[in-house]
Amino acid sequence: MDFAYTESELAFQKELRAWLEENLPEGWLEGKRVIPEDDNQKAAFLRDWYRKLAEGGWSGISWPKEYGGRGASLMQEVIYEQEMARVKAPPALNIIGTAMVGPTLLQIGTDYQKERYIEKILNGEEIWCQGYSEPNAGSDLAAIQTKAVKKGDKWIINGQKIWTSYAHLADRCFLLARTENTGKKHEGITAFLVDMHQEGVETRTIRSINDRRDFNEMFFNDAIAYDADIVGEVNQGWKVSLILLSHERVGVARQTFRLQKQFEELVELAKSMKKNGRPLAADPLVRQNLAIFRTKTKALLFNYYRHLTNTIRAGRPGPEGSMDKLASSELGQEMLAYAISLQGASGTLWKGDASVDQNWQQEYLRSFAYTIEGGTSEIQKNIVGERILGLPKDIKY
């Protein structure tokens, strides 16, 4: 394996690093990574950061140049994620729009949809969310019950979505709704582009275990969408959703690179924490556990690179991404739990109560979602078993 970047890739990396040094929030590179907790201030902070990304040409980098993107290669996208993980950059507020909705519209959207939405997605004028999961349809997406009924050129939408990231800040939603009941779950689903600011849409934030409010419930009570808001064809939303998901090419890379950074911070935590006057990093058992995590994070990285190579050669991602997702989410949980254990009694304390870095507590509590979001570990194991190992499918009763 040759891990060296080409000259053009190195130039891309250098350009991005220089931009980050110039544009990250003040003190960010020195470790003062503070995102406001107040909902309004946090929203303003994230919008401002996304605006900077857009103005600098760092939103939608894989989009074709004629639509405002950089036409970045897959390797350039990977470098982008690697550099963002290195500096622990603030989250990109419109990631659903730029990574998934926009590319889908560029591929199969109508001329009207491209003209109406593409520019505003890229520059952050309109923020997008994704209306997929429902209270009774999480991993089993085809079991959705939200309905859309046609009346003239309008579609009347009723139902509920849940665990929708940033829905309380979104202007538009890429929504899946059932438009026909054929008796087959994957049929009769249609994809709509829904205005979040209309009277028929209600958003309620969900207070997570780490006291943050990034997830939401959405209620649709006679909400309206029009024929022009349909992506693809009526009742063909399942195919459209697969197209949309295929554009999220580097989500696993994001988590893989973050874990490399997280390991470095875990080592620094072990060096800073003391027991009986000695750094925990001097304890043989702690050093052994750190060595194990070092091995696991590197194995995860090299396995990802192997799968990335296969993707480049084949021209499309394969089922191996499920292996990466499964391993990275479970390793992330494991490392954060160990960080809390290193803190001893202080690990049980909350905001302002301990002398240790409270980000560990925040991230540890957030990590319980790792093995659920983006497809549960159980779903990933099924994919690995059936599509990689060739095992028989589950028996359906």
The position carrying tokens 């160990």 is 338
Q: Does residue 208 share a domain with residue 88? A: no
How far, in Å, CA of 66 to CA of 71, rounded? 9
Residue where a domain stops, chosen among 93, 116, 150: 93
The position carrying tokens 């590319």 is 103
- Is the Cα torsion angle 290, 296, 300, 301 positive or negative in sign? positive
pLDDT at 355: 62
Q: Does residue 186 share a domain with residue 147? A: yes
E strands present in the chain: 128-131, 147-151, 154-162, 172-178, 189-195, 201-206, 215-226, 230-231, 274-275, 278-279
Q: Does residue 259 share a domain with residue 380? A: yes
Side chain identity at residue 240, one-letter code: V
Q: Does residue 50 share a domain with residue 152? A: no
pLDDT at 354: 59
Q: Does residue 237 share a domain with residue 254? A: no
Q: Does residue 265 share a domain with residue 220? A: no
Q: Is residue 299 part of a domain?
A: yes
pLDDT at 331: 96
Q: Is residue 21 part of a domain?
A: yes
User: What CATH number did the domain enclosing 254 receive?
Assistant: 1.20.140.10
- Write down the catalytic residue from 248, 265, 330, 373: 248
Of the CA atoms within 13 Å of residue 368, those in its CB half-sphere come to 6
Residue where a domain stops, chosen among 206, 241, 276: 241
Per the CB < 8 A criterion, the answer to whether 291 and 267 are in contact is no
Residue where a domain stops, chosen among 241, 266, 294: 241
What residues contact residue 44 under an 8 Å CB cut-off, 6+ apart? 36
What's the domain range around 67? 7-93
Q: Does residue 205 share a domain with residue 85? A: no
Q: What does each C-alpha distance from 1 to 307, 308, 356 come to in angstroms?
A: 12, 12, 40
Question: Annotated catalytic, 248?
Answer: yes
The DSSP letter of residue 395 is P
How far, in Å, CA of 283 to CA of 261, rounded? 22
CA-nearest of 200, 261, 257, 189 to 225 is 200
Q: What does each C-alpha distance from 58 to 92, 111, 130, 249 come to in angstroms?
A: 10, 25, 22, 16
The position carrying tokens 């072990």 is 270
Which stretches of the chain score pLDDT less than 70? Answer: 1-2, 249-250, 352-357, 396-397
pLDDT at 333: 96
Q: What does each C-alpha distance from 251 to 30, 256, 388 come to in angstroms?
A: 26, 9, 20
What total of structural domains would you count in the chain? Answer: 3
Q: What is the pLDDT of residues 163-204, one digit of tens each?
A: 999 999 999 999 999 999 887 888 999 999 999 999 999 999
Q: Does residue 132 share a domain with residue 80? A: no
Q: Does residue 284 share a domain with residue 221? A: no
Q: Does residue 31 share a domain with residue 148? A: no
- Is the Cα torsion angle 188, 189, 193, 196 positive or negative in sign? positive
DSSP code string of 286-302: HHHHHHHHHHHHHHHHH
pLDDT at 396: 63
